Amino acid sequence: MRFLAKHIIYTLMMIVMSIVLFAGTSALLMFFPVNDSVVYHKTDKPAIALTHDLAHVNILIDLSQSSTPWQTLVPDIVSQRRGYLLVGWGDRQTYLSTPSWSDLSLGVASQALLYNTPSALHLRYLPEKDRLRATVTPLWVSETVSRRIEEAIVHYFATGEGEQTNTPVLLAPGYDAGDRFYYAQGKYNLFHTCNSWVGEVLRQSGVPVSRWTPFSYNVVYSIPLKYRAALHEISNK
């Protein structure tokens, strides 16, 4: 009995130490963002923003400033160059079975974290960003960087076999008429999460951000403050 108790205590200690190491490493890397020499670019109306809560980060694209033909790529949800497109990437099964966090089951979450699982891109059209139920952080980045972010997103579209394609392939209808799921490249796991994907897209595009971003705060708060616009600084024009 004593041996069993020691074994349980040792196992629990190892789990706690692993969690601390995981979270601590991701937090430490926030102080050393890549692309930190990139010049920030103030505009009246930033073309790219991040939406975030405690668990998840999405990329928000202002369609009125986008050079990507979203009306051609996803005509079932985008019919005009107005409004916003919300883009997220994540575990396919979690997306399809979890309309809200209260629907997330332990089995689906465990499988997503412990295995290399297939991924999906989730796109939602929003007439107004006021409809978002998350914090919005616009980014002061240049037109070139904004374009690179959209190009990086398009590059992640995949066929049903997982091969890269610039033409989105529908995976499943969304939760309502305004969103859809598409096949995506990449595998989801504990070290490559939905937030890691956003960090990856931003790094590739030249945005100063941490090298590894498994949590939402790793993405948002590793971006230097001068690149993050407060909502009151944004023009309503």
Q: Is 148's pLDDT higher than 50?
A: yes
181 lies in a domain? yes
Between residues 81 and 60, the one the model is more confident about: 60
213 lies in a domain? yes
pLDDT, tens digit, for every residue of 1-42?
Answer: 666 666 667 667 776 777 777 788 888 999 889 987 777 777
Q: What domain range is 101 assigned to?
A: 31-233
pTM of the model: 0.89
Quick one: what percent of the chain has pLDDT higher than 90? 56
Beta strands at 57-62 and 84-91: parallel, antiparallel or unpaired: antiparallel
18 lies in a domain? no
Residues 6+ apart with CB under 8 A from 77: 123, 124, 125, 174, 178, 179, 180
End-to-end CA distance of the chain: 71
- Alpha-carbon torsion 20, 26, 30, 32, what sign? positive
Task: Give the C-alpha separation, 81 to 164, whole Å.
Answer: 26
Q: How many domains does the chain have?
A: 1
13 lies in a domain? no
- Supply 183's token pair: 């096949």
- Residue 229 sits at φ, ψ, to 5 deg, of -85, 135
Answer for the pair 178, 126: CB distance below 8 angstroms, yes or no. yes
Quick one: what percent of the chain has pLDDT higher than 70? 89
Of the ranges 17-31, 47-61, 173-187, 221-235, which one carries the lowest mean pLDDT score? 221-235
226 lies in a domain? yes
Host H or E run for residue 120: strand 117-126
Task: Give the C-alpha separation, 153 to 161, whole Å.
Answer: 18
26 lies in a domain? no
Q: Is 101's pLDDT higher than 80?
A: no
Amino acid 44 reads D
**Nearest 5°: CA angle at 101, between 221 and 62?**
50
Task: Give the C-alpha separation, 56 to 156, whole Å.
Answer: 18
- Supply 59's token pair: 């990329």
* Mean pLDDT for the stretch of residues 66-74: 95
8 lies in a domain? no
Report residue 124 CA to chain centroid gap. 13
- Residue 137 sits at φ, ψ, to 5 deg, of -125, 100
151 lies in a domain? yes
* Mean pLDDT for the stretch of residues 223-232: 78
Burial 223-237 (b: 16+ CB within 10 A, else e): bbeebbbeeeeeeee
Task: Give the C-alpha separation, 197 to 156, whole Å.
Answer: 10
- Supply 136's token pair: 């919005």
Rounded (10°) CA dihedral 6, 11, 14, 19: -140
Q: Is 81's pLDDT higher than 80?
A: yes
